[in-house]
Amino acid sequence: MGVDLGQSRDFTAIAALERAELTGEFDPAMFACRKKVALRLRYLERVPLGTPYPDIVERVRRTTRTPELDGRYHVAVDATGVGRPVVDLLRRAGLEATIMPAIITGGAAESRSKGYYGVPKRDLITGLQVLLQRGALQIAAGLKHGPDLVAELTGMRVKVGCEGWEQYGAWREGTHDLVFAVAPAHWAARKMYPREPAGEEGYWRFRDWRDCEREFRRGMERRREGGTEGGIGKVAWSSSEWRP
């Protein structure tokens, strides 16, 4: 989960990104199906302007009580600026999760000090843009702000100053709160799962050879029909959003 904390004139945004391990194509040499990983945006909220921070913390707490999460989540929160006091509120809110406060910097390398991460803005933005361009970010059908997120991402531009500093922002005036809610969630997912499934962990095994044979035949039929396995590569898919 990612939280971008706005101020009086900026929206606060909350995003929930699910890491799903899917069944890929059948590998006849291994007698198993390959394992594919998809990142699915299942929840995206833009909190109304003027909402007090204690109410935002309560909103985050209620969102984490969604049955689909069930204690299996991390909360990455933007601790830049006003974020530090809100991080303290989140830590006292009784969340059954690891809270990962991130201070967004203009540096080139990630750092950590006194329980806070220093995360380069470049890593957050480009990582999410690459994910979208690869088709590896799936956005749940029906998300109200899903199209707004894509518009924010595609509208991000980088400016390089005279001293070599990079500045990221929209190419014209606009908000980018949704990007900075989803990007920390993606960053946290990469921290928790830095490598793709490999070796024996990269396959789904079958208990019965007959199941293996059936999956092999299904894979052959999908190839003949020109279909794809695993549902990877779609910007939107039919699963609906979570509703806390």
Instruction: Return the domain boundaries, the chain.
Output: 2-237
| Structure confidence by residue, pLDDT tens digits, 57-114 | 999 988 888 777 766 788 999 988 777 889 999 989 888 888 999 998 888 889 999 8
C-alpha span between 216 and 147 (Å, rounded): 37
Q: What does CATH list as the number for 2-237?
A: 3.30.420.240
C-alpha span between 204 and 207 (Å, rounded): 10
pLDDT of residue 46: 93
- The mean predicted confidence, pLDDT, of the chain is 77
Give the least confident one: 135-139, 143-147, 186-190: 135-139
Concatenate the DSSP letters of all residues of 83-137 into one string: HHHHHHHHHTTT-SSEEEEEEEESSSS-EEETTEEEEEHHHHHHHHHHHHHTT-E
pTM: 0.76
C-alpha span between 95 and 97 (Å, rounded): 5
